[in-house]
Amino acid sequence: MAEPAPDLRTAAHPGLGCPLAQVRVRLRRAGLRPTRQRICLGWLLFGRGYRHLTAETLFAEAQKVRVPVSLATVYNTLKQFTDAGLVRQIAAEGRKTYFDTDLTDHHHFLIEGDEETIDIPSATMSVTGLPPAPEGYEIERVDVIVRLRR
Ligand SMILES: [Zn+2]
């Protein structure tokens, strides 16, 4: 099923109720200037509910709908979105980093060899027996990656 392409004219002048307008509001609330590139990438990221993806996946999606960005810009934007708390980094696998638009506490399955991560419903697992944090540190959060193979 083809996704509608973001209308770049609309991105510059979003109307009320437009998903692009919502992305713009979200960026502003996170303290990020809603540039055209951020709006377009945000539209791709947030326009379809919670998702996991890599910079490469987002770059491929941007190319598909002819958003003129480089892979380096996609990397930088994802870094800015992560720092602003709009997305969460879930795992780095070799040279690939996975991002999650669901900011709630949950863990992940990672399918080895595939570019796929799957949510583990939080009710199905609990983490116990954590070591005390070293002097001067506190545990911010725990990310569990359960690796799967076919
Ligand atoms: Zn997730």
| Residue 91 belongs to a domain | yes
| Ligand 1 center from residue 54 Cα (angstroms) | 12
| Residue 16 belongs to a domain | yes
Backbone φ and ψ for 120, nearest 5 degrees, come out as: -100, 120
| Residue 2 belongs to a domain | no
Please, which residues bridge with residue 52 across strands? Answer: 100
Task: Going from the first residue of the chain to its last (150 residues), give the mean pLDDT of each consecutive group of 10, the final group possibly shorter.
Answer: 49 54 92 94 89 93 93 96 94 81 90 85 86 94 89
Predicted TM-score of the model (pTM): 0.78
- What span, in angstroms and rounded, lies between the C-alpha atoms of 110 and 25? 32
| Ligand 1 center from residue 77 Cα (angstroms) | 19
pLDDT at 104: 87
Q: Shortest CA distance to 53 belongs to which of 5, 130, 118?
A: 118
Number of compact structural domains in the chain: 1
pLDDT at 121: 83
CATH classification of the domain holding 96: 1.10.10.10
Q: Shortest CA distance to 99 belongs to which of 40, 56, 47, 148?
A: 56
CB 141 within 8 A of CB 105: yes
Q: Which helix (H) or strand (E) holds 23?
A: helix 19-29
pLDDT at 100: 94
| Residue 75 belongs to a domain | yes
| Ligand 1 center from residue 146 Cα (angstroms) | 12
Which residues, 6+ apart, have CB-to-CB distance to 125 below 8 Å?
107, 144
pLDDT at 4: 53
pLDDT at 1: 46
| Ligand 1 center from residue 88 Cα (angstroms) | 9
pLDDT at 94: 72
| Residue 135 belongs to a domain | yes
Q: Which domain holds residue 53?
A: 8-148
